[in-house]
Each structure stands twice: as structure tokens, then as C-alpha cells.
Amino acid sequence: MLDDDQIVGRAYDARLMRRLLRYVRPYRRVVATAVGVLLVASAADLVGPLLYRVAIDRYIAPQAAGARALSPAADARGLAGVAALYLAILGAGFAARWLQSNLMQYVGQRVMADLRVEMFGHLQTLSLGFFSRTPVGRLVTRLTNDVDALNELITSGVVAIFGDIATLVGITTIMLWMNWRLALAAFVVLPAVFAVTERFRRRSRGAYRAVRTRLARLNAFLNEHLMGMTVTQLFTQERRSRARFDELNASLLDANLISTRNFSQFYPIIQVLGAIGVAVLVWYGGGQVVRSAATLGVLVATIQYAERFFDPLRDLADKFNILQAAMASSERIFRVLDEPVTVEDPPAPAPLPRGRGRLEFRDVWFAYDDDETWALRGVTFAIQPGESVAIVGHTGAGKTSILNLLTRFYDPQRGQVLIDGVDVRRVAQRELRRRIGLVLQDVFLFAGTVESNIRLGNADLSAEDIRRAAERVGAHRFIEALPGGYGAVLQERGAGLSVGQKQLIAFARALAADPEILLVLDEATSSVDAETETLIRRAMATALRGRTSITIAHRLSTVQHADRILVLHHGRLAEEGRHADLLRRNGIYAKLYRLQFEVEARSAR
Amino acid sequence: MHSRRFWQYVRRHGRAYLTGYAASAVAVAMAQLSPWALRAAVDAIQHGAGGRLGMFAGILAVLALAEAAATYVMRIQILSVAYRVESDLRHDYFAHLQRMPLRFYQRMPVGDLMARAVNDIRAVQRLAGVGLMRSVQTTIMIVASVAAMLTLHAGLTLLMLTVMPLITLLYLGLGREIRRRFDRVQAQFAALSTRVQENLSGIRVVKAFAQEPAEQARFAQEVDAVVGVNVRLARVQGALWPAIGLIFGLASVVLLWQGGDLVIRGRLTLGQMVQFSYYLARLTFPMVALGWITNLWQQGSASMRRLDEIFGVKPEVRDPEHPAALAAPRGAVEFRNVTVAFDGVPVLRDVSFAVPPGHTVAIVGPTGAGKSTLVGLVPRLYDPVQGQVLVDGHDVRSLSLASLRRAVALVPQETFLFSDTLAENIRLGLDGAEEPGGTPHGGAVTRAAAVAQLAGDVERFPLRYETVVGERGVTLSGGQRQRAALARAVIRDPRILILDDALSSVDTDTERRILAGLRGVMATRTCLVISHRISAVRDADWIVVLRDGRIAEQGTHETLVRADGLYAALYEQQLLRDELDAADTGPDAADPPRPARAPRA
């Protein structure tokens, strides 16, 4: 599979561009205004040489224009007037440019914001399977840097192209209007300019691709060889891996040198062509002035315009790079947006009856995406409302899969998972998950306060509810002791809290939501001291009371107190019953007990 | 820029820089001359002297060609050499990292090292290229243009240049405000990244507690804040370029007004006024570029500092000054009062035992007992803080790293395969690059794969040993990866073979066959074996039991079982595990076939 980060992108892709422009559409009025303002700015830019012409022909060198000479004082006054007009127009141009850049930044930022919100929202609907195979870091890059790469396209690219075209058209028109012969003389070099630009564009497309692919290859190699550095060192392969690195490095250097040569040729050639245009004007235009077929002012203005004509063409190179980078980024962004939602809500979700939480698995077969073997093989069981069930099994027996299917993080390939008689696939996921509380072994705390971590967005809960939940699981005491109490802001992922404290918060969180069904992944953590261990054990007992519950048990106390124990083995339900009965049976449970719990039982003695 | 290293690279290519700068001076000179020709032409036209226009046009064209040629030489010299600097720098970076020991990689995330390799090296390249080129060119251009203008008409020049300090003021005033607002943009952007990172890392909890809408609302707020700070930045930043344009416009207005006045009063010719306008235009870009160049210097220096941070790390494990070669190793290994500590925390304490050549010693113990650290001392992945590790009686720290590691093959639990063919991955064990991927060792690869019990699996791959594996290749199962790593060690034919729980993902049956095969080829070799499976260690000549970094007990399987200590408890658990595994045999024949893998976008 091609790594997303290695997408280099075509120079221009009409399909991608159309799709991108769809995001600009809501702001088309602002864009139109910006273009309008930009036209004003471009016009203001173009006025300069025209004013020079007027000044020269009327006041500075009227004789050369064949005009009647005024008195020096009148000339000076007229000149000051022109200068004042020039100043005013410059001011207007400045205002227009500023306004235009503000408008376009606004549009660019809004479009990026819309894209980000859409991507983020889409990611929330994707299944856990997607997240297990996609590194989080990569997705973060999509949402941040890749979206940012589009900004330049929108703010500088789209509008600047309008501006450049406007400038080119404006200059051409004015030059032709002032004196079409001079204009045509200056344009003699244009065919050469277009030929050079076209050749440059063609070459830089190839050069850009070569640089990008070789850079991507080099970085992929570097990344891999940094990760496997110990292997390289243990097998004394440093020299060999360095030789391959140097090869890639040299091939990138080659591509960079070719690209540099292309750029280094382009700028001076355009410059020379511009100068030749000016030289032609001096030779031909000068003759025209001498023969009085043109005024000196017109000639000077035409020369100034001819020089400006080449600026937008020179910028083309930069815009080309912006466009290519943006295309590559948008392709990666759309790949995320196009990721299909595999676990979907039904079109007309059935209401989940306000039952008491009866759970049932009916001949469930389930395998993870990238796994060759079944994780669950024909599992059937039912749990009555209020019953507390413990699931035990060896590593890989399928315990976590039961939780994953109940919460609909995944869908089974066969069979049904039912809550109060309704297939979980028929109800809305949020509806389902609101009824189920989940306490995971890896407690995840969000940035925010202790309270917001217990509340988790549930606005119906009062501060009193939060406190009571914390009290019931025995978390109240340590929370109060935190600086700021319930309002204490948690450091990154709850750094500063002990593992046990985090677990207590997780129980408080589940209790505050007051679900009918509680799923607990309990893991005896060796880093918890005896006192906290007692607290956690008590918290769990409190949380489970009066609820239908499934606990993936790693603690002896949990299995001892469960109403029923389900023993999973290699994806099958192997045994079930109460602790004492199962022990007596001397089957799989008895072995598991000796393996998992006996050490605990022994050390507790 | 205080980095000595940076200037070393520049000096290495000094000739190219000097050529480039010489060309730059020529280009500036040409750029200064053409307005003179233009002025002469305009004056001639104004006085109706059309005869010499062809000559002026010719001079203009020649000057332009000369300037373009010089510019080309400048760019091609300096910009190309900057890519060579980049290439040198990248080579040295990688070579330096190759000398860094395992502990360095345990502390330094690969992502961080990559960021330096990608972003920082690029920033340094830009400084070495456009940065150094423009710094010099811009300075010459400004000085030359101002000098030319002063000789032309000092009064008018000074009048026009009165507006220039405005640019400095603008940079200072707006610059500070832009930086302040830019910092806020960066901070908000970081907050956005963090929010995304957090949400996606905790997606399970988000979904479990139906927090998607709340999370989306919070994210939208964060996004709006990003828009807010950016728009505020744009308000100031968007003013910068138009303002610079406005200031140059002002100079142009002054020229038109005051210069025109001088022409009217006959103190200046029209040609000279046109010449002025050209110098003004020649000043514009360098002035604008100054701010940009400052930026290049700042970014380049910051990046070079980050690279120097890495270059400044001295490898803790390195060759001694006078390395001894381990010639014809026999494979005796001895740990003598070895203590290892990481960041002051002891991991191994006073461990001593010896392994005679050709013997197999097993190391067992609970997780975190220090087993991997212990065996890692032999090929010097780590060095002890006290005590000695000896191979054939030599302290490993007195031997050359290469000769020591040539005698040792360590197979770690975490297998790393490179994105290359299976054959290349196995052949990695063969020493040196001098053997090209040729046929002489083809037999060796298959023999090693056979010992590692991998040959059968490979036969089922359509491309067999040419199958590309690793991150960008075919995904192998954990067991297959471990067996490939084992084959890589076997092909090396080491005097000392170390298996660091290297068969944990291989099923018991296969493991037994592998061990039997190894006993054949490795009969005269020294073996250190870490395993959680008693079946893999019970036949060892000697068993060392570690707990909390100390030797808890040692002996043969029989004596340890009789001693009824930690080993006996571990053994009992293993027996249970084996029984459990046997209680139900793998997939039944009655199982429906696994559904086809869901297509991925």
C-alpha cells in the first residue's frame, strides 16, 4: 500500500480543484468583493507611468511633445497637481490591497475551518478498526499541516491569479491605447517569453516530481533505518546502510541540481527578454519620438509598463509550486474524508426500549479486520437484568471482543448482539452507548478539570451529582485534596495523578452517567498500593450494585463475587457457573484460576 | 550564526561561493550601467538626435545579456552548492546517528530526529543558498544604487531617501506586532493539534460515552479561535507589503514632483530623471528582501542549533582508543560483578556468572527482572556502570565494536524487518557490503530459513524469498517475523548466539523443532537464551534465574525444580499454560471460512 505521506500529487488536477472550490462557494460574495477591490488595487498600480507621461508631456518636456510651453511657474504648479493626484491614487491602492488581503485571509481561514470541522466530524463516525490501523499522528497531520497548505492556495493562489491577469490585461490595453505601434514593438519579445515560460513550466513539473519522490524515498529510508538502528548496529551493517543512504542522498542532490538549473535559467532569461523589449523601444520608439510620431512621455511610460509586464510572469514559478503542494495536500485530505463509515447507524434507528438491561449474544462469530483467525466462534449467552457476570479467559480468548461488540465498536460477521431484545445494529450508536457505562483499564482523561472529566459533557448533572458520584466510589477525599478540588485542571492525560486515582475517576465517571449496563475491564495493576487497591475494589462493588454488568476479571475478588462466571477459551464459551462450582469441576477455569489468581491469593495471605 | 559546523560546510565549498559573489558583483555593475545608457538615449531623443539610438539599444541589450549571464552564474554556483551543503549535512547527520547507542534511541523519539532531518536541514539549506546569496547581493545592490544616485544629484537623492527610514520604522513597528500575533497563532495552532491528538487517542472513550457531539462542539470552538487569531494577524501582516509599496510610491512621487521641477528649471535632464526612476526600481526589491533575509538567518540559525544539539551528543558506547580485534573467538562469556543503572536507577546489581565456550545458558525471571539488559551487555548495546563483561577473557570495552559484534548475534523479542525482500533481510546477517546479493549465498539463505523453520512458509509466498516484507511490504505474522529474524542470526554463524525471548510468538511445537535444529548447527556455539517458556530452557546446560536485577538462583533444571523456589513456581505456571493451550486445539474444521477482508480505501 502506498504510504499517504508519499503522495506527491500531480501539478494540477481539475477534479481535486473543483472539489476544493466547493468549499469556497459559501464565501463567493466575499471572494467577489475581494476580486473587485483587487481590480481597484491593480488599476492604482498602473496609473503611475501614465501620470509620468502626463507630467512629462505637459509640464516637464512639453517641447518634445510638440505642445505649447507654459511659464516655468505654471509648469511647477501643474507638476505638483499631478504629484498630488499620484499620491492620492497610491493611498487608494494601498487601502484596496490591504482590504483585499484581509478579505482573502478571512475566506482562507473560514474554508480551512470548515474543512477541519468536517474532517473532525467524519473521524468521529469512523469505526475503531480504522483507528487501530491508522497512526494518530498521521491523522493529526492531515487536520493541521495539510489543511494549512491549502491556505496559501486560497489566499495567494486563486485571487493573485485574477490580479495577475488583470494587471497583464490592463498593461496591454493602456500600452495599445497610448501608442499601438510602440506597444507592438515592445511585444516583439512576447512569443519568446511564452516559449521560455512554457519550457520552464514543463521542466519544473518533472523536476518537482523528481525532487518530491526522491525526498520521500530518502525520508522513508531514514525513518526506517532510525527505527531499526539497533539491528543495523548489531549486524555491523552501518557501512552498507550508509552506502544506500548516500545513494538516495546523491539521487536527491541530482534532482535538486536539475531543478536549480531550471530556475537559474528562467529568471535571467526573462530578465534579458524584458531588457531586449526595452532596447527595441529605445531604438524604434526613440525614432518615432524624433520623427514626432510619438511623445517622449508616451515612450517613457511605455518603457515603464514593459518592465512591469514581466513581473507577473516571473512570479509564475512560485505560484506553480504553491499549486503543486496544495494539490498533494488536498488529495491526502480527501482520502480521509472519503474513508467509508463501516459501523453506521441504521437509516431509521429503532428506539431502545426503556428496559432493564438484558444482554444476549446469539451465535456470534467475529474476527478483526486484519486478523486471520476468529476472535469469537459461535458464542451464545444471555445475562439477566441486574445480574453481574465476570468473564475470564487466557490471553486472546476473546474477552475484549465481547465488550467491543456490545458497545458496537465493531460489528460481528455473523449472529446477533441484543440489548433488551433489540439487535444493537438497529439502534442509534449514541442511544446505545448512553445506556452502557464503560470502565477501561487504560483510563483516558481529557484536558480539563476533574469535574469535566467526570461529567463528560452531560449538562443535566448538577455539581452535587458529580460530588455524590465521586463520594460513592471513594474518590471524593483525594479530589478535595487537589489544589482547586473539583475545579483542578488536569495536566496532560492526568499526569500527577496515580494510576489508582485515575481509575477511581473512571468509576465516578461511569457512576455519574448512571447507565443500566456497566462494562468493566479491570486489570490488577501492580503499581497500586494496598489502600488504593481496597478503594478500587470497593468502588467496583458500589458501581456494579443494581446493574447488569460484565467484568473482564483479573482480580480474585471480582470472580468470587460475580453472580456467574463465563469462561472463554479460544473464542468459545467453554464453561460457565459460579466460582466454587467451576473450581470443583477442575476444567479450564480451575487451571486459569491457578494461573491467574493463585499468585494473588497466595500473596494476599 | 554561531555554529562552527555551518561555516565549515560553507568553507568546504568556498570556491563556489566566491565565484558566485564575483558574478554577483558583475551583475550589479551591469544593472548600474544600463540606466546610464537609457538616460543617454532619452536625452538624445529629447534633443531630436535619433542617429545613435541603434547604438544605445545595442548597449542596453549587451548590458542585459551580461547581467543575465552573471546572474545565472551567481545562482547556479551558490544555489547548487547549497544543495551540496545540504547533502553533506544529511550524510554527516546519518553517519553520526549510526554511532548512537540504544539508550539514545530509547530517549529520543524517532519523530523528533526525523523532524530535524526534514525541516531543520531544509532551513539550513535555504540559509546556505538564497540566504547567503541574497545577503551579499542585496548589500552590494543597495550600496551601488545609492552611490549612483548620489553622484547623479545628491539633493534629489537625499530628498527621495528621506522616505526610506519609514521602511525601517515599518519593519520595527509592524514587525514586533506581527511577531506577537504570530506567536498567538502558533500557540492556538498547537492547541488545535493537541485537541485533535487527544480526541483521536481517546476515541474509544469518546465513543463509549457518546461524547462525539460535545467533542465536535469543543473542536469547532478551537477552530474558530484559530480563525480569530489568524484574521487578527492578517490585519497587521496584510498591511506590511502594501505599506512598503506605498513608501516606494512616495519616493516615486517625490521623484516626479521634485525631479520634474529640477528638469523644468533645467538643473536636471529628463534622461537623468528617467535614470533616477531606474535606480529607485533597483532599490525596491533589495529593501523588501531585507526582512525576508533576516528571517532566513533566524530560522537557519535556530535549525542549525537543533542539529548541533544532536551532533553534540557523544556516543556513550564507542570504540576504545586502541581497539583490540577479537581474532578467532572461542565464545567464552563472563559477567563479573556487573551493575547497570539507567538514569541512576539500578537495573542489574552485582551479577556474576560465566559461560564456557559452546555451552547454552538460559536466563529466566519475571518481567522487569533485567534479563534483556543483561544479554544486551554482550554486544555492548549497553555498558555496565560497575563490573566487567568479558568475552574470551577480554573486557568487551577493550575490543573493537565491529569485531565484537561480528562474533555475536542477538535476536531481540521485538523483531525489526526492513522494507526489502526476505532474502535481503536474512542476508543482512552476512557480514559486510562486499558480498552483493548474488547467488553464492543463495544456498545459505535457504539453509538458514530451514533452521528457523521459515522455509515452509516462504514456499507458500508467490515471490518466495523475493517477497518484500517490512512496513511497506507484505505483513508477516508475529511468528514469521521472529523466525525471519532468527534466520538472519543463523546465517551469520556467530560464536555467540543470544535469543532474547525471540520465539515468543512462535507456537510451542515449532519452537521445539527450531531448538532441535539449532542444536545441530549451533552445537559448538555459545548460546544465551531468554524465554518465558520452560520447554525452551529446561535442556540448557545452566539456568540463571533473575529477580529485581539480582540472581535469585541458578542451577540445572532438575536442581532448580527440586529447590522449589522462583524457578519451580514459574515452571508450574508454564505447565498449566501448556495444559490450557492443549485443552482446545486451534480452529476447528467446522469453522466457517474467515470472510474476505473488508476492502480498504
Amino acid at A439: V
Q: What is the pLDDT of residue A481?
A: 81
d(CA A530, CA A525): 11
> What is the per-residue pLDDT across A21-48, written as a single tens digit (0 to 9) for each?
888 889 989 988 988 888 888 888 788 8
Is A253 in Cβ contact with B208 (below 8 Å)? Answer: no
Is A143 in Cβ contact with B216 (below 8 Å)? Answer: no
CB half-sphere exposure, B430, CA atoms < 13 A: 18
The 3-state DSSP class for residue B346 equals: strand
- Phi and psi based region of residue B188 (left: phi greater than 0; alpha: psi -120 to 50; beta: remaining): alpha
CB half-sphere exposure, B171, CA atoms < 13 A: 13
Residue B198 lies in a domain: yes
Q: What is the pLDDT of residue A493?
A: 65
CATH of A359-604 among 2.30.33.40, 3.30.70.260, 3.40.50.300, 2.30.38.10: 3.40.50.300
Note whether B305 and B342 are same-domain residues.
Answer: no
Judging by DSSP bridges, how do beta strands B386-391 and B394-395 pair with one another?
Answer: antiparallel
Note whether B210 and B295 are same-domain residues.
Answer: yes
d(CA B457, CA B468): 14
pLDDT(A223) > 50: yes
Note whether B192 and B277 are same-domain residues.
Answer: yes
d(CA A427, CA A404): 16
Residues of A in contact with B69 (CB under 8 A): 268
Closest C-alpha to A552, from A446, A355, A394? A394
Residues A510, A436 contacting (CB under 8 angstroms):
no
Q: Any CB–CB contact under 8 A between B419 and chain A?
A: yes
CA–CA distances in Å: residue A381 to residues A308, A391, A427, B201, B247: 81, 12, 21, 32, 81
Structural domains in chain B (count): 2
Burial of residue A525 (CB within 10 Å: 0-12, 13-18, 19+) is middle
Q: What is the pLDDT of residue B433?
A: 38
Q: Which of A75, A106, A229 to mutate to test the interface with B (most CBs of B within 10 A)?
A: A229
Looking at CA atoms only, how far is residue A12 from chain B in angstroms?
22
Note whether B135 and B246 are same-domain residues.
Answer: yes
Question: Cell match 542477538: residue?
Answer: B410
Residue B407 lies in a domain: yes
Mean pLDDT of A572-591: 85
Residue B95 lies in a domain: yes
d(CA A483, CA A316): 58
Is B488 in Cβ contact with A124 (below 8 Å)? Answer: no
For residue B464, the Cα-to-chain-centroid distance in whole angstroms is 33
**H or E stretch covering A325:** helix A296-337
d(CA B576, CA B582): 10
pLDDT(A328) > 80: no
Query: For residue B124, what is the domain's CATH number?
Result: 1.20.1560.10
Amino acid at B338: V
Residue B75 lies in a domain: yes
Q: What is the pLDDT of residue B187?
A: 83
Note whether B119 and B216 are same-domain residues.
Answer: yes
Residues of A in contact with B118 (CB under 8 A): 219
Query: For residue B570, what is the domain's CATH number?
Result: 3.40.50.300
Q: What is the pLDDT of residue A1?
A: 31
Is A367 in Cβ contact with B60 (below 8 Å)? Answer: no
Mean pLDDT of A431-440: 81
Note whether B60 and B175 are same-domain residues.
Answer: yes
Looking at CA atoms only, how far is residue B10 from chain A in angstroms?
17
Residues of A in contact with B68 (CB under 8 A): 268-269, 271-272, 275
Residues A23, A116 contacting (CB under 8 angstroms):
no
Q: Tell me if A21-179 shares its fold with A359-604.
A: no
Residue B72 lies in a domain: yes
Domain range for B93 is 4-311
Residues A387, A564 contacting (CB under 8 angstroms):
yes
Q: What is the pLDDT of residue B17?
A: 94
Note whether B83 and B166 are same-domain residues.
Answer: yes
Query: Which positions of chain B have pLDDT values less than 50?
Result: 432-440, 585-587, 589, 596-601
d(CA A453, CA A504): 12
> What is the per-residue pLDDT across A499-512, written as a single tens digit (0 to 9) for each?
778 888 888 888 88
Question: Cell match 493529526: residue?
Answer: A140
Residues B286, B248 contacting (CB under 8 angstroms):
no
Residues of B in contact with A286 (CB under 8 A): 41, 44-45, 50, 53, 56-57
Note whether B19 and B54 are same-domain residues.
Answer: yes
Note whether B230 and B353 are same-domain residues.
Answer: no
Helix and strand numbers (H, E) in chain B are 23, 10
Question: Cell match 548475534: residue?
Answer: B409
> How long, in residues, is chain B?
601
User: In B, residues 49-78, which contact A (CB 8 Å cutoff)?
Assistant: 49-50, 53-54, 56-58, 60-61, 63-65, 67-69, 71-72, 75-76
Q: What is the pLDDT of residue A3?
A: 47
Residue B49 lies in a domain: yes
User: In B, residues 185-244, which contact A (CB 8 Å cutoff)?
Assistant: 189, 192-216, 219-220, 223-224, 226-227, 230-231, 234-235, 237-239, 241-243
Closest C-alpha to A156, from A334, A332, A333, A316? A316
CB half-sphere exposure, A145, CA atoms < 13 A: 9
d(CA B13, CA B77): 10
CATH number of A21-179: 1.20.1560.10
d(CA A180, CA B492): 82
> What is the per-residue pLDDT across B158-175, written as a single tens digit (0 to 9) for each?
888 887 778 778 877 887
Q: Where are the domains of chain A?
A: 21-179, 359-604
- Phi and psi based region of residue B322 (left: phi greater than 0; alpha: psi -120 to 50; beta: remaining): beta
Residue B593 lies in a domain: no
d(CA B557, CA B576): 17
Residues of A in contact with B200 (CB under 8 A): 123, 131, 136, 139-140
Residues B388, B336 contacting (CB under 8 angstroms):
yes
The B333-342 sheet, strands edge to edge: B345-355, B333-342, B386-391, B394-395
- Measured in degrees and rounded to the nearest 5, phi and psi for residue A215 equal -65, -45
> How long, in residues, is chain A?
605
Residues B299, B126 contacting (CB under 8 angstroms):
yes
pLDDT(A143) > 90: no
d(CA B175, CA B170): 7
pLDDT(A2) > 60: no
Q: What is the pLDDT of residue A530?
A: 65
B431: its cell numbers = 557480514
Q: To the nearest 10°, report the CA torsion of B169, B173, B178, B183.
A: 130
Judging by DSSP bridges, how do beta strands A564-569 and A388-393 pair with one another?
Answer: parallel
Closest C-alpha to A125, from A427, A368, A428, A348? A428
Please calculate the CA angle A268-A271-A277 and round it to the nearest 5 degrees.
145
Is A335 in Cβ contact with B212 (below 8 Å)? Answer: no
pLDDT(A600) > 50: yes
Looking at CA atoms only, how far is residue A562 from chain B in angstroms?
23
B442: its cell numbers = 543463495
Note whether B515 and B368 are same-domain residues.
Answer: yes
User: In B, residues 488-517, which contact A (CB 8 Å cutoff)?
Assistant: 488, 492
Residues B320, B383 contacting (CB under 8 angstroms):
no
Q: Chain A: residue nearest B412 by CA?
A: A231
Is B114 in Cβ contact with A372 (below 8 Å)? Answer: no
